[in-house]
């Protein structure tokens, strides 16, 4: 065997896989259902070679781009969608959606605690970046979780009684928080709590890391809009960059006007030869997402066998692709990330060090050796260098390669 993996670690892996058989079968079933959903959308929209051609310049009449919007709308059960490589990341897509839905004097309400770190700068809760929502006079409030870290439905219903609240934002994934990621059913309960009080509030969901982890999406449970990154689940590992928005027509249009120009919206935006990657990536996405979930389960079980605390535990049901492993001290967190880096197909020879990432308020250590820069559907681990020194592990284009990454991380941890 060419990789430096001890017999002891390989035997531990066999035990872990034996224990995960039922979990893996459950994940495969979800992938099968989602693959059918995607194939149905491709066939309904008569995908053909001509969709892959794409445009340059203004990007008028980009057939593949416009059809892909329709296909996303089909998959997410929405009126409209906007899938664009011009979104530089997920934060950009989310911010466009917020600016599209809010005006000065309105209030944005986060329903389940603080937003993901980079969104905080965009809203203007931390830092004073020019052009934040705050700088345009858009207010912000958040409803904290209950004592047992669950959505506070009563608190949310109360908060939306203020008529200035125009958008409720639900973050599906935990991000760098410790709360559990939300299931689609839990998101549905929040939507009911909001809409039972006020019908005129738009509910947006930060869907990052959640796509295809379950067999339904938040827009089937009452959300008006979902937003996510194409270098996570729905890009299937092939999309080179970009983001998507799917939801009610007026909200998608508002986001499009913000992404490009009021009056132009969805009409411009050339695809520069990338349509094929978007289509093929979406086609693979249900499978790729399942590979990432299996890699997360395998990591959880291995770390549990070694005595570490995990969240979710290997026996629990995942609602996104993130796996938390609590190390309790900086040193094992760094070693684990070093091992993950050693398992990468790209840049396996470098050693990750904590650094001050733009948009984050503590140094973050990141292990990633990916084909697409920063793509976290590819195996990656990162952690803010603060208590409780938790690694957030995600991705794995194939279960086999994900597993090897975990095995090398276990070796590094033991060294």
Position of minimal CB gap to ligand PLP: 90
Q: In this complex, which beta carbon is closest to ligand PLP, that of residue 34 or of residue 229?
A: 229
Selected from 54, 64, 90, 254, the binder of ligand PLP by CB under 6 A is 90
* Residue 86 found at the interface with ligand PLP (CB under 6 A): no
| Phi, psi dihedral angles at 310 (to 5 degrees) | -125, 160
* Residue 89 found at the interface with ligand PLP (CB under 6 A): yes
Instruction: For the segment 169-188, give every residue that binds ligand PLP (CB under 6 A).
Output: 171, 173, 175
C-alpha 375/C-alpha 23 separation (Å) is 25
* Residue 209 found at the interface with ligand PLP (CB under 6 A): yes
C-alpha 329/C-alpha 53 separation (Å) is 51
Q: In this complex, which beta carbon is closest to ligand PLP, that of residue 95 or of residue 314?
A: 95
Mask 115-134, x = binds ligand PLP (CB under 6 A)?
Answer: -x-x----------------
- Sign of the alpha-carbon dihedral angle for 30, 175, 79, 257: negative
Instruction: For the segment 273-302, give every residue that binds ligand PLP (CB under 6 A).
Output: none
Place of tokens 């004073």: 128
- Residue (of 117, 220, 128) closest to 171 by Cα position: 117
Q: In this complex, which beta carbon is closest to ligand PLP, that of residue 176 or of residue 389?
A: 176
**Piece in contact with ligand PLP (CB under 6 A), picked from 2-10, 87-95, 234-242, 273-281:** 87-95
| Smallest separation, CB 206 to ligand PLP (Å) | 5
* Residue 378 found at the interface with ligand PLP (CB under 6 A): no
Selected from 157, 229, 277, 310, the binder of ligand PLP by CB under 6 A is 229
Selected from 81, 208, 230, 377, the binder of ligand PLP by CB under 6 A is 208
Q: Six-digit token pair at 228?
A: 């996510």
Q: In this complex, which beta carbon is closest to ligand PLP, that of residue 209 or of residue 336?
A: 209
**Piece in contact with ligand PLP (CB under 6 A), picked from 8-16, 89-97, 256-264, 301-309:** 89-97
- β-strand partners of 367: 381
């Amino acid at each position: 065997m060419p990789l430096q993996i001890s017999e002891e670690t390989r035997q531990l892996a066999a035990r872990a896989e034996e224990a995960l058989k039922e979990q893996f079968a459950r994940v495969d079933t979800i992938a099968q259902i989602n693959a059918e959903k995607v194939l149905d959308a491709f066939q309904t929209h008569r995908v053909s070679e001509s969709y892959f051609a794409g445009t340059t310049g203004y990007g008028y009449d980009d057939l593949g781009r416009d059809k892909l919007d329709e296909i996303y709308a089909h998959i997410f059960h929405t009126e409209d969608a906007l899938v664009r490589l011009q979104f530089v990341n997920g934060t950009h897509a989310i911010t466009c959606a917020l600016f599209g839905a809010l005006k000065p004097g309105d209030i944005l309400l986060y329903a389940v605690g603080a937003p993901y770190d980079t969104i905080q700068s965009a809203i203007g809760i931390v830092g004073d970046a020019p052009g934040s929502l705050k700088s345009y006079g858009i207010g912000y409030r958040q409803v904290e979780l209950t004592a047992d870290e669950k959505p506070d439905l009563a608190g949310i219903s109360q908060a939306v009684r203020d008529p200035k609240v125009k958008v409720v934002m639900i973050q599906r994934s935990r991000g760098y928080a410790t709360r559990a990621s939300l299931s689609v059913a839990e998101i549905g309960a929040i939507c009911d709590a909001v809409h039972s009080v006020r019908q005129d509030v738009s509910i947006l969901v930060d869907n990052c890391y959640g796509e295809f982890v379950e067999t339904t999406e938040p827009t089937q449970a009452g959300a008006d809009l979902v937003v996510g990154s194409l270098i996570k689940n729905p890009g299937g590992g092939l999309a080179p960059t970009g983001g998507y928005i799917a939801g009610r027509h007026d909200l998608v249009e508002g986001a499009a006007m913000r992404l490009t120009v009021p009056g132009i919206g969805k009409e411009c935006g050339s695809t520069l030869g990338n349509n094929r990657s978007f289509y093929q990536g979406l086609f693979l996405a249900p499978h790729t997402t399942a590979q990432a979930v299996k890699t997360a389960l395998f990591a959880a079980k291995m770390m549990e066998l070694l005595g570490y605390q995990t969240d979710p535990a290997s026996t629990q049901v995942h609602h996104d692709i993130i796996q938390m492993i609590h190390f309790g001290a900086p040193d094992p967190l760094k070693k684990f990330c070093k091992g993950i880096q050693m398992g990468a197909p790209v840049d396996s020879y470098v050693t990750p060090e904590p650094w001050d990432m733009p948009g984050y308020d503590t140094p973050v250590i990141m292990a990633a050796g990916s084909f697409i820069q920063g793509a976290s559907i590819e195996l990656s681990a990162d952690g803010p260098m603060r208590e409780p020194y938790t690694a957030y592990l995600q991705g794995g284009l194939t279960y086999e390669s994900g597993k090897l990454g975990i095995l090398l991380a276990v070796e590094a941890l033991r060294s």
